[in-house]
Amino acid sequence: MDVSDLIDPLNPAQREAVTAPQGHALVLAGAGSGKTRVLTHRAAWLVRVEGATPWNLLAVTFTNKAAAEMRARIESLLGINGSGLWVGTFHGLSHRLLRLHWQEAGLPQGFQILDSEDQRRLVKRVMRDLEVDENRWPVRQLQGFINARKDAGERAEDLDSADPYSGEMARVYAAYEQACRSAGVVDFAELMLRTVEMLQNHLELLGHYRRRFRHVLVDEFQDTNGIQYEWLKLLAGPESDVFIVGDDDQSIYGWRGARVENLERFRKDYSHTRVLRLEQNYRSTRTILDAANTLIARNSDRLGKKLWTEGEAGEPIALYAAFNEQDEARFVVERLMAMVEEQGLARSDVAILYRSNAQSRTFEEALMARRIPYRVYGGLRFFERAEIKDALAYLRLLANRDDSAALERIINTPTRGIGNRTVETLRLTARDQGVSLWAAARELVSRPGGLPARAGNALRAFVELIDGLDRETADAALADRIETVITRTGLRGHLGKDGSDRAQDKLENLDELITAAGNFEQDNTAEAEMDPLTAFLAHAALEAGEGQAGAWEDCVQLMTLHSAKGLEFPVVFLAGLEEGLFPHRMSVEEPGRLEEERRLAYVGITRARQRLLITYAERRRLHGRDDFAIASRFIRELPPALVDEVRARFSVTGPDAAGSGLGESPATQAEFGLGERVQHSRFGEGVVLDCEGNGPNARIQVNFNDAGTKWLVAAYANLERI
Ligand code: ATP
Ligand code: MG
């Protein structure tokens, strides 16, 4: 049997892991050392040499993209092409088990999955039915509580109901479970927990899968949480061999309950585990690898690994200090375009990685402006996010009261005592009279006895809120208008009370919407005939629906550092390396969290194969605030010799200096740095954003405080530095 295709592309240490005798194995190794390659080759080896069948394999990882790549790889090594393979994510595989065994799981055959937005709505509805005070018990906090309990494998009845605090939460949890049951829906956390319970309660089923899955393989093991570990222990029976790969330096989900200690626990629970180490990195240039190694060496409590490469030194890491976030996006997009056009890189070879989802918008806009296809992974595009859609729905209603979809979305968001029954009455009235929901609402609140008193008051308050907002903000600038809407409708206060990281994220996104509106109003000259609100809403709607290239198209990859785990790209831009943003300000106080941020930086750096470009903005308008930032400590932690600072300065030379020889106008030799403040005789004060060309053709782009952004011919602009 020829297995050279399985063995040849491996180094001796990798080969040892792939061909290890039966038994449990743990491959502990740094980034880019071939862990995922070893895992896929091991799967193929088991079938082709050890006599397993593809049916005996269970291979698990964390993200959909990584799972799809793993499946494709194993199928190609096995020369098969079928969905019979059990390769997927924890959630995906659980879902598959529940679909197959819905009866044993106690689910209706056509059960549906709740995304977290739907889940929140349901929790809220349950709380209303139980008359739980949402001011004391924020919905999101309860939602987070329910998910955390499920991740820990606990049901409502397992909780201490005698304690008034947890008793109240348990009461909501129990009612929520009941509501899910009667609606026939399961949330994400439920997929895992339900599968575990189903297997525990149906030993014949458990036995079947344990006999079947003789070989269980897990990638990125360092990020498993409690219920995932339970799930694995169940499915891998006494006869099964477990092969896990991981890297403690890449453990980045501690904040979501992942336990890096599971690596140690595994060695205890699975006796005679063979531990293998890989030390050669095949992914990155020596420069990139050295930078990553130096950075991560600052963490304490590491299991300790070596990592070296035979590869070339490669180019230095480029570091660009942007003037602001737009300058940062401009730099990234121009650089990547140059690489695509001049060096023939595919767009999909380039990834832009950032710490938080809110950062994607500036990049999306810059890419869209240049018509460069891109794809955002693992997160909704900005204008599709729920909280943004809520804010936009209010604005749509201000622009057009008859937009019933918008009204329905926010009539009770945030909750204001307008229940389903009222909405149902509204719907019926609107239907009977053939009018919009808004018209029906006005009619109902003015008709005596149209609604029960409490419902009538709540609805009247809503109608007055919208009309009042319209009156008060009609003449305000767009950004101010949105700010007022977000505050007055309670969207902001509602999230503010929640206090979870997710709510914080959403608040930041709302602020980002205000920033977007401000920039839009300033830059939008094309649609001057439309009022700014209408133009902005059209912009948002078009952006949400289009420009998102399909996965099949060659497009630039945008994602958070968390979703980049396990992936690699020839070119990586690591954006927003500023103190407070990355490391995140909430992490810097706690050594444990800071180390997790550093691991995240390590993950980011080690995604790059040939080129790594790091950017930060000295001034960033994020979350609606202008912040002056300093470079992230992670930049300072890189060896300076490996980093090359990109010069943002350029020189502008007047006509004389360019050699016209006439000597009539004074030589206007000037040098402006991006971000420098300048004065123009007509347009006033502004900031240099960009430049093009040189000599007499040099043009400068200036963002004027009052006159907006303009391109000027440098030689004639007579700009003065201020
Ligand atoms: P991460 O920790 O980031 O998940 P990893 O350890 O899983 O990384 P892989 O993704 O498996 O690493 O491998 C990194 C890169 O090195 C891949 O492009 C892979 O194809 C390549 N590679 C791995 N082993 C070898 C080898 N022996 N010879 C040549 N290339 C290799
Ligand atoms: Mg990997």
Q: Which ligand is nearest to the CA of 29?
A: 1
Q: Distance (Å, rounded) from C-alpha 110 to C-alpha 656? A: 78
Q: Say what the pLDDT of residue 353 is.
A: 98
Q: Which ligand is nearest to the CA of 289?
A: 1
Are 358 and 505 in contact by the 8 Å Cβ rule? The answer is yes
Tally of CB atoms within 10 A around 400: 15
β strands within 158-200, DSSP E: 185-187
**Locate tokens 């509501």: which residue?**
179
Q: Distance (Å, rounded) from C-alpha 654 to C-alpha 346? A: 39
pLDDT tens digits, 496-527: 888 777 788 788 889 888 888 887 776 655 44
Rounded (10°) angle between helices 139-151 and 491-498: 40
Q: How far does residue 561's CA lie from ligand 2's centre (Å)?
A: 14
| Residues tagged active-site | 35-36, 219-220, 250, 607
Tally of CB atoms within 10 A around 2: 7
Residue 702 pairs with which residues in a beta bridge? 688, 710
Indicate whether residue 584 lines ligand 1 (CB < 6 A): no
Those residues whose C-beta lies under 8 Å from the C-beta of residue 645, and which sit 6 or more positions away, are 318, 319, 320, 321
Half-sphere exposure of 490 (CA within 13 A, CB side): 15
**Locate tokens 């470009």: which residue?**
613
Q: Say what the pLDDT of residue 373 is.
A: 87
Residue 580 pairs with which residues in a beta bridge? 584
Among 266, 268, 269, smallest CA distance to 245 is for: 266
Q: Which of ligand 1's atoms lies nearest the C-alpha of 14?
A: 27
Tally of CB atoms within 10 A around 64: 15
Mutate to test the pocket of ligand 1, among 26, 36, 248, 305 (most ligand atoms within 8 A of CB): 36
Among 504, 510, 451, smallest CA distance to 485 is for: 510
Q: Which of ligand 1's atoms lies nearest the C-alpha of 38?
A: 11
Q: Distance (Å, rounded) from C-alpha 386 to C-alpha 121? A: 12
Indicate whether residue 33 lines ligand 1 (CB < 6 A): yes
**Locate tokens 């530095």: which residue?**
721
Are 286 and 582 in contact by the 8 Å Cβ rule? The answer is no
Among 643, 583, 656, 637, smallest CA distance to 612 is for: 643
Q: How far does residue 22's CA lie from ligand 1's centre (Å)?
A: 23
For ligand 1, atom 15, which residue shows the shortest CA distance?
283
Are 719 and 680 in contact by the 8 Å Cβ rule? The answer is yes
Half-sphere exposure of 138 (CA within 13 A, CB side): 14
Among 699, 654, 702, 652, smallest CA distance to 675 is for: 702
Q: How far does residue 32's CA lie from ligand 1's centre (Å)?
A: 5
Among 647, 564, 578, smallest CA distance to 250 is for: 564
Cis omega before residue 655 (within 30°)?
A: no
Task: Tell me, rounded to whole angstroms, the distance of Cα 710 from its chain centroid.
Answer: 34
For ligand 1, atom 31, which residue shows the shortest CA distance?
282
Pairing relation of β-strands 684-692 and 699-704?
antiparallel
Query: Helix, strand or coil for residue 550?
Result: coil
Q: How far does residue 219's CA lie from ligand 2's centre (Å)?
A: 7
**Locate tokens 């209010």: which residue?**
394
Q: How far does residue 242's CA lie from ligand 2's centre (Å)?
A: 17
Task: Tell me, rounded to whole angstroms, the distance of Cα 478 from its chain centroid.
Answer: 27
How many angstroms separate the Cα of 405 from the Cα of each of 1, 380, 395?
Answer: 63, 20, 12
DSSP-derived secondary structure for 93-125 = HHHHHHHHTHHHHT--TT-EEE-HHHHHHHHHH
Q: Which ligand is nearest to the CA of 35?
A: 1
What is residue 258's DSSP assignment? B
Task: Tell me, rounded to whole angstroms, the distance of Cα 379 from its chain centroid.
Answer: 4
Among 250, 124, 308, 268, smallest CA distance to 601 is for: 250
Q: Say what the pLDDT of residue 155 is.
A: 93
- Give the angle subtended at the CA of 451 by the CAs of 447 and 453, to the nearest 5°: 105
Q: Distance (Å, rounded) from C-alpha 699 to C-alpha 707? A: 17
Pairing relation of β-strands 185-187 and 350-354?
unpaired
Half-sphere exposure of 311 (CA within 13 A, CB side): 21
> From the annotation, which residues make up the binding site?
29-36
Q: Distance (Å, rounded) from C-alpha 263 to C-alpha 252? A: 14
Q: Distance (Å, rounded) from C-alpha 412 to C-alpha 420? A: 9
Q: Which of ligand 1's atoms lies nearest the C-alpha of 37?
A: 11
Indicate whether residue 598 lines ligand 1 (CB < 6 A): no
Name the residue type at position 446.
S
Indicate whether residue 13 lines ligand 1 (CB < 6 A): no
Q: Residues in the chain, how many?
A: 722
Q: Distance (Å, rounded) from C-alpha 224 to C-alpha 237? A: 18
Contacts 24+ apart (CB under 8 A), 202-205: 202/101, 202/104, 205/101, 205/104
* H-run or E-run covering 12: helix 12-18
Q: Distance (Å, rounded) from C-alpha 434 to C-alpha 440? A: 9
Q: Which ligand is nearest to the CA of 34?
A: 1
The string over 321-357, giving b where at least 16 C-beta atoms fall within 10 Å of a residue's C-beta and e elsewhere, is: bbbbbbbbbbbbbebbbebbeeeebebbbbbbbbbbb
Q: Which of ligand 1's atoms lies nearest the C-alpha of 282?
A: 16
Indicate whether residue 40 lines ligand 1 (CB < 6 A): no
Are 20 and 49 in contact by the 8 Å Cβ rule? The answer is no
ipTM over 0.95: yes
Structure tokens at 552: 């099949």
Dihedral, 703, 707, 712, 714 alpha carbons, nearest 10: -70
Q: Distance (Å, rounded) from C-alpha 387 to C-alpha 358? A: 12
Indicate whether residue 32 lines ligand 1 (CB < 6 A): yes
Q: Distance (Å, rounded) from C-alpha 146 to C-alpha 151? A: 9
Q: What is the 3-state secondary structure (H, E, C) of 397-460?
A: HHHCCCCHHHHHHHCCCCCCCCCHHHHHHHHHHHHHHCCCHHHHHHHHHHCCCCCCHHHHHHHH
Cα dihedral across residues 360, 627, 582, 295: positive or negative: positive
Q: What percent of the chain is helix, strand and coil (3-state, nearest 5)?
A: 50, 20, 30
Indicate whether residue 247 lines ligand 1 (CB < 6 A): yes
Q: How far does residue 418's CA lie from ligand 1's centre (Å)?
A: 56
Q: Distance (Å, rounded) from C-alpha 28 to C-alpha 305? A: 8
Structure tokens at 421: 């029954």
Those residues whose C-beta lies under 8 Å from the C-beta of residue 178, and which sit 6 or more positions away, are none
Tally of CB atoms within 10 A around 40: 26
Among 327, 330, 371, 316, smallest CA distance to 347 is for: 371
> From the annotation, which residues make up the binding site for ATP?
29-36
Indicate whether residue 481 lines ligand 1 (CB < 6 A): no
Among 505, 419, 389, smallest CA distance to 144 is for: 505
* H-run or E-run covering 701: strand 699-704
Half-sphere exposure of 48 (CA within 13 A, CB side): 22
Low-confidence ranges of the chain (pLDDT < 70): 1, 82-83, 110, 112-118, 183, 378-382, 384, 405, 522-530, 538-539, 541-553, 623-624, 647-671, 692-698
